[in-house]
Amino acid sequence: MRILVTGAGGFVGRNLVEELKRREIHEIYAGLYHEMVNYGSQVKIIPLNIMDSEQFRRVVYEIEPHCIINLAGQSYVGVAWDNPSETFQVNTLGTIKMIHVLSQEFRQVKLITIGSGEEYGLTGKSGRLLLEQDPCFPQNPYATSKLALGQVAVQYSCKEKLNIIHIRPFNHFGPGQMEGYVVSDFSSQIARIEKSLIPPVIRVGDLAVQRDFTDVRDVVKAYADLMEKKVDSGIYNVCSGTPRFIKDILNYLIESASVSVDVKIDEAKKRSSLVPIAVGSAEKLKKATGWRPQREFKESLAETLDWWRSRT
């Protein structure tokens, strides 16, 4: 297959390109907005801004991809609160622009859009495994932008008979993830504490919430499987199905530290969570592709911590 990965310079994009390279059967095009990434001779770099419909049209016309996966977007919840307009511009409008171009001229292309497990929002309070057909009540602008683009994707798929897959990945992490996410935030601080760069204290907010975590390398295998296999259009969760307390993640990382680390509750960071638990079911994905997570959770945590040690 000829595969175009937009947002290929991001954390997930880099991992997906490496996964596709390992499979050694695809012609890979990495769409980059402004990042400089060297993927080697197996990957062709394509300058691409998804907000530019004419540029996107030219790229698709030139490379004639069988599948496009859109990983370009704004993925930080905090940034979404600070700048919801830009978040919707990139996440929602950018994806809609792509869908519109494909519906007009490239109807044979499979498109994979990336949403978020956060789309379910308050429905997670039920404590049961969340299913694709469950109602969504997102609780921040980032999640709402993802829900909106997913709804348009599903609508276009039905109306125009396009093959569009909307994926809802739950929390994912791994080596190479920048700060701004819980596992990388904890790991980066511990790495700095071990080298005496900061005081031996981690200030935290609410550690009592439970979330569904999957190693990013397992997540991108799911993405690649959905590209390769003939699956019905629609929504697919990518998740482990296992709820994990944030406090347990922090405790494990602290136990792995080479020095003593104190934990202090920071009231400024502590927010009352409207969704104390959010965990998904990936049964639909498993039935469609056979995918299931392979990496052991604590090993993934250890590898993430070691990655931060290596760059601190």
Q: Kindly report, residue by residue over 109-120, the tens digit of the pLDDT.
A: 999 999 999 999
State the burial class of residue 124 (Cβ atoms within 10 Å of its Cβ: 0-12, 13-18, 19+): buried
Query: What is the 8-class DSSP label of residue 241?
Result: S
Query: pTM of the entire structure?
Result: 0.96
Q: Quick: pLDDT tens for 82-132.
A: 999 999 999 999 999 999 999 999 999 999 999 999 999 999 999 999 999
- Which pLDDT band holds residue 271 (cuts at 50, 70, 90)? low
Using pLDDT thresholds of 50, 70 and 90, give the confidence band for residue 194.
very high
Q: How far is CA 232 from the centre of its chain?
A: 21
Tracing tokens 């498993």 back to the chain, one arrives at 286
pLDDT tier at 35, thresholds 50, 70, 90: confident
pLDDT of residue 269: 67
8-state DSSP, 280: B
- Whether residue 270 has pLDDT greater than 80: no
Which residues, including other chains, have CB under 8 Å from residue 289's CB and lie 6 or more apart? 222, 225, 226, 229, 231
Q: Are 150 and 264 in contact (CB under 8 A)?
A: no
Write out the DSSP string of 263-278. Answer: EEE-TTT----S-SEE
Contact 17, 176 (CB under 8 A): no
For residues 113 and 227, is the Cβ–Cβ distance under 8 A?
no
- Report, as an integer, the average pLDDT of 222-243: 97
